[in-house]
Amino acid sequence: MDQVSREQVLQALRDVQDPELHKSIVDLDMVKDVRIRDGVVSVEALLTIGGCPLRDTIQLSIEERLRRLPGVRGVQVSLGVMSDAQRQALIGKLRGGSTSPQQRSAFLTPESPTRVIVVASGKGGVGKSTVTVNLAVAMRQAGWRIGIIDADVYGFSIPRMLGLDGQPTVIDQMIIPLEKDGIRVMSIGFLLPDEGEAVIWRGPILHKTITTFIGEVHWGDDLDYLLIDLPPGTGDVPITLAQTLPQAHMVVVTTPQPAAVNVARRAARMAEKVNMEVLGIVENMSWFQAAPGAPPVYIFGRGGGLRLAELLGVPLLGEIPLDPAIREGSDAGEPIVTTHPDSPAARAFHQVAARLVERLPARVG
């Protein structure tokens, strides 16, 4: 049996990614030492922090990859922890050679490959967060790499809707977003002791929180789309985002009734004033169908989303029907796009996601 070489081991380990940083453990200098004796490969790998929540995943990935190498009779993995100097070097790699906080997020620059879409509404209760979550899942299922910022700091709901809890890993003030089904997520809900805790902040702290979520969270350099769930209305958060992410685009969510449409129009006018392009309108709760084949019931009226789209000169991206499974899925942390993929609502979300990508194509490459 041929003896496996150190070079072969390192080449194989390039296939092992840090599950939070989404880069090879070799490229991140997390492999400290490799020893080979009588076909037994011993690897010493370094974790970014001592309490790394995914240490078992990393160890298992190393073992599984090396066992597939011809000539390997056994694998031994020991895990250590990076020194401060090693962590700083890793952070420099992730920021493109800079340790400055301003370099942390690739999409802060006009050359960024990441498309940023803010999801807005004029008023609360129209299902804006529900639309954000289901669009994210639909886009991820289509193969795009997706992130979500829950910018609705006072009324955060994205963690529950995705079934996410826990605290993000922090590496020397660089925050690693939590992840669900390949979707990277950051919310103030991850930083509070429980989801019932009230957030009582004035404008300057709110501004700092949003800029932290944008600039100090390691979103990676491979995101295709970043969706940002705005709070309702036209207050501080949209203005902060427009200043921080001038290349962002907006989607406006409304329900059919005139009262909601008139308020949603103000959100679109706000986007116009800060030079943020509106990609289109999503009408939520468009109709209810009691049973397959039954006539639709227009509980909140009809045609409001189309009227708003015509007023603004933008397309109506889609109409999402009322479905109890949407509410049930949101409460259970399982979006309807996942649980009932063939339902009219799920198909409508997929349609909106496809039209969004048509309107704002990913920068592949």
- Give the number of other CB atoms < 10 A from CB of residue 303: 16
DSSP H helical ranges for the chain: 6-13, 55-67, 84-94, 128-141, 158-162, 203-215, 236-244, 258-273, 304-312, 324-332, 336-339, 344-359
Across 120-124, 196-200, 305-309, the highest mean pLDDT is recorded for 305-309
pLDDT score at 117: 95
Name the band, by pLDDT with cuts 50, 70 and 90, for residue 97.
low
Residue 297 or residue 195, greater confidence: 297
What mean pLDDT comes out for the span 154-165? 90
Q: Give 11 or 174, the one with higher predicted confidence.
A: 11
The pLDDT confidence band at residue 243, using thresholds 50, 70 and 90, is: confident
User: How much is the mean pLDDT over the chain?
Assistant: 87
Tokens describing residue 340: 């009932």
pLDDT of residue 1: 47
Question: For residues 162 and 168, which has the higher predicted lDDT (pLDDT)?
Answer: 162
Mean pLDDT of 232-259: 82
Average pLDDT (82-104) is: 71
Q: What distance separates the 2 farthest-apart alpha carbons in the chain? A: 76
pLDDT digits (tens, 9 = 90+) for 277-298: 999 999 999 999 988 889 999 9
For residue 109, what are the contacts with CB-CB under 8 A and spacing of at least 6? none
Asked if 128 and 158 touch (Cβ cutoff 8 Å), the reply is no
pLDDT at 232 over 80: no
If you average pLDDT over residues 121-133, what whole number do you get? 89
For residues 209 and 106, which has the higher predicted lDDT (pLDDT)? 209
Domains of the chain: 6-82 (3.30.300.130), 106-359 (3.40.50.300)
pLDDT band at 346 (very low <50, low <70, confident <90, very high): very high
pLDDT band at 104 (very low <50, low <70, confident <90, very high): very low
pLDDT in tens, 35-80: 999 889 999 999 988 877 788 999 999 999 999 999 899 999 999 9
Does 345 have pLDDT greater than 50? yes
For a pLDDT cut of 70, what percent of the chain falls above it? 90
Mean pLDDT of 182-205: 74
Distance CA 324, CA 31 (A): 50
**Residue 300 pLDDT:** 92
**Burial of 255 by CB count in 10 Å (0-12 exposed, 13-18 middle, 19+ buried)?**
buried
pLDDT in the model for residue 194: 67
> Is residue 202 pLDDT above 60, yes or no?
no
C-alpha to C-alpha distance for 114 and 112, rounded to whole angstroms: 5
Helix (H) or strand (E) holding 150: strand 146-150
**Pairwise CA distance, residues 314 & 277, whole Å:** 10
Which pTM does this prediction carry? 0.82
User: What average pLDDT score do residues 137-164 get?
Assistant: 92
For 146, other C-beta atoms within 10 Å of its C-beta total 23
Does the pLDDT value for residue 129 go beyond 80? yes
